[in-house]
Amino acid sequence: MSSPEARPDLWDAYLAGVVEVYGSYGVVPALELDRDLTSLVFVAFDRDGRARGGIRSQGPYDHPSQAQALAVWENDARVRRLVRERLADGLVETKGLWVERDFPGRRELVHTFGRTPVHASTILGARYGLGTTAAHTEALWMSSGAVLRYDVPPVPYPDERYRTHLMFWDRWHLPASVTDADRRALDLETAQLMGVEVPAPRSGR
C-alpha cells in the first residue's frame, strides 16, 4: 500500500490489472482512472512477484462534487446531502477492485480486499468510507461494516447489467454484524499496512 506518487510501480501494477479485468466486461470508462486523484493504491502480489489484485482510494474529500458516487447518481440531492454530512469527520472513497480470476486464493484475497475501505479511512485519518456496489458484491462489503443506503434507489451503472447501490462505512461505529474475526483482521492488517511490527501471539504465561 502506498500513494501512486511514492510508489509508481504499485500504480502501474494496479492499472494493468484493473484495465484487463474491467475491460473483459467492457466497463473500463466507468473506472474514471486518475493517478493524481488517487490517495492510496493497494496491490496484492503472489510469491513470484506477480500482481494478483488491487483497489484504490481517493480523499479525504472536502467537497461533495469530488465523489465519483455523485456522478453515478447524476448529482442526486440525496446523495449530495449524505456525502456532505460526512465531510467534516473525513470521507474516503474506495473503488476499482480487481482480483485475477485464476488465482488459487481468489476467495480469500477478495475477502481481504473487502476490508480495505476501512483501512484506507484509518490510514488517511477519516471516519467514513464511501463506495458503490453491484448486487453480487454487497455481502463482501457488508462483512467489513458497509451499510447500504436503501433510501437511495439503485441505478443501472455502468450499464443495464448492473444494479448499483450506495454504501458508507463508519469505522467509529461498525455494525454488530461485523464478526470478531473480521474486527481482528482489520486491526492486524491496518498495523501491517502502516509498517508496524506486530508481535507473535503469546503462548502460556
Tell me: pLDDT of 39 over 60. yes
* CA atoms of 29 and 35, how far apart (whole Å): 15
Host H or E run for residue 58: strand 51-58
* CA atoms of 80 and 5, how far apart (whole Å): 29
Cα 189 from chain centre:
14
- Tell how strand 128-134 and strand 164-170 pair up: antiparallel
* CA atoms of 8 and 10, how far apart (whole Å): 5
The pLDDT of 136-163, averaged and rounded, is: 90
Judge: domain 55-193, CATH 1.10.1060: no
Confidence at residue 110, expressed as pLDDT on a 0 to 100 scale: 94
Confidence at residue 25, expressed as pLDDT on a 0 to 100 scale: 67
pLDDT band at 101 (very low <50, low <70, confident <90, very high): confident
List the one residue out of 46, 78, 33 whose CA is nearest residue 168.
78
Phi, then psi, of 136 in degrees rounded to 5: -75, -10
**Angle, vertex CA 125, rays to CA 2 and CA 75, nearest 5:** 90
Which sequence spans correspond to the domains of the chain?
55-193
pLDDT band at 148 (very low <50, low <70, confident <90, very high): very high
Is the CB of residue 160 less than 8 Å from the CB of residue 127? no
Q: Per 3-state DSSP, what percentage of the chain is helix, strand, and coil (rounded to 5)?
A: 40, 20, 40
Question: And the C-alpha cell for 112?
Answer: 481481504
Computed over every residue of the chain, the mean pLDDT equals 90
The pLDDT of 161-173, averaged and rounded, is: 93
Sign of CA dihedral 150, 153, 154, 158: negative
